[in-house]
C-alpha cells in the first residue's frame, strides 16, 4: 500500500476520516462527520461531497497518480489563499487537539467565501461539525 493513505470508516453513528503518513506507526483521525449529517443530503449530493473530500486529499498526497489535478491558476491561487490557510489551521488544530485557531479559521473561511461559492458551501455545511469537534478540545 502506498503511503500516505486515507482511511474512512463508520463507528457509533459517526464517519471518521483518518490518515497514515509514512513516518507514523499508526493512523490518526483528521476529522469526523455525524452520519445523520451525511444522510441529510440526497445520495448523489452526499456522494459528491464525500468523493470530493477523498479525491482532494489523495490528489494532494499522490500527485503522480492524479497528474494535473488540483493545480490552480495564479488567479485561483490568490483567490484560495484564505481557504488554504484555513485548511492548514484545521489540520494543525486536529493534529494538536486544540481549539486555539477556531476564530482564525472562521475569519479566513468567511473571507474566502465572499469570493468562492464552493467555500461558502464548505462554510455552511462542512465547517459547523468540524468547528464543533475542535471546540470539544480543551486547549
CA distances to 45, 54, 71, 83 from 48, rounded to whole Å, are 5, 10, 20, 19
Q: Would the pLDDT of 51 be above 80? A: yes
Q: What is the DSSP string of 79-125?
A: HTHHHHHHHHHHHHHHHHT--TTHHHHHHHHHHHHHH-HHHHHIIII
Q: pLDDT tier at 127 (50, 70, 90 boundaries)?
A: very high
User: Whole-number mean pLDDT of the chain?
Assistant: 83
Q: How far apart are CA 99 and CA 102, in angstroms?
A: 6
Q: Would the pLDDT of 79 be above 60? A: no
Cell of 66: 492524479
pLDDT tens readout for residues 85-117: 888 888 888 888 889 889 999 988 998 888 888
Residue 86 phi, psi (nearest 5): -60, -45
Cell of 76: 485561483
What is the CB neighbour count within 10 angstroms for residue 111? 15
pLDDT tens readout for residues 9-41: 999 999 888 888 888 888 888 878 888 888 888
Q: Give the sign of the dihedral formed by CA 49, CA 118, CA 124, CA 88.
A: positive
Q: What does the CA dihedral 92, 3, 65, 67 come to, rounded to 10 degrees?
A: 30
The DSSP element (H or E) to which 134 belongs, if any, is: helix 127-135
Q: Are strands 28-34 and 14-20 parallel, antiparallel or unpaired?
A: antiparallel
Q: Would the pLDDT of 60 be above 70? A: yes
Amino acid at each position: 500500500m502506498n503511503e500516505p493513505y486515507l482511511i474512512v470508516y463508520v463507528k457509533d453513528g459517526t464517519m471518521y476520516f483518518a490518515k497514515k503518513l509514512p513516518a507514523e506507526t499508526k493512523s490518526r483521525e483528521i476529522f469526523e462527520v455525524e452520519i445523520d449529517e451525511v444522510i441529510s443530503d440526497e445520495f448523489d449530493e452526499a456522494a459528491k461531497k464525500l468523493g470530493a473530500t477523498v479525491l482532494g486529499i489523495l490528489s494532494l498526497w499522490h500527485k503522480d497518480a492524479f497528474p494535473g489535478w488540483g493545480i490552480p491558476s495564479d488567479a485561483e491561487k490568490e483567490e484560495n489563499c484564505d481557504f488554504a490557510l484555513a485548511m492548514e489551521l484545521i489540520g494543525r488544530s486536529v493534529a494538536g487537539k486544540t481549539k486555539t485557531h477556531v476564530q482564525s479559521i472562521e475569519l479566513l473561511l468567511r473571507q474566502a467565501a465572499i469570493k468562492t461559492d464552493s467555500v461558502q458551501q464548505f462554510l455552511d455545511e462542512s465547517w459547523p461539525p468540524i468547528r464543533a469537534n475542535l471546540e470539544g478540545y480543551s486547549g
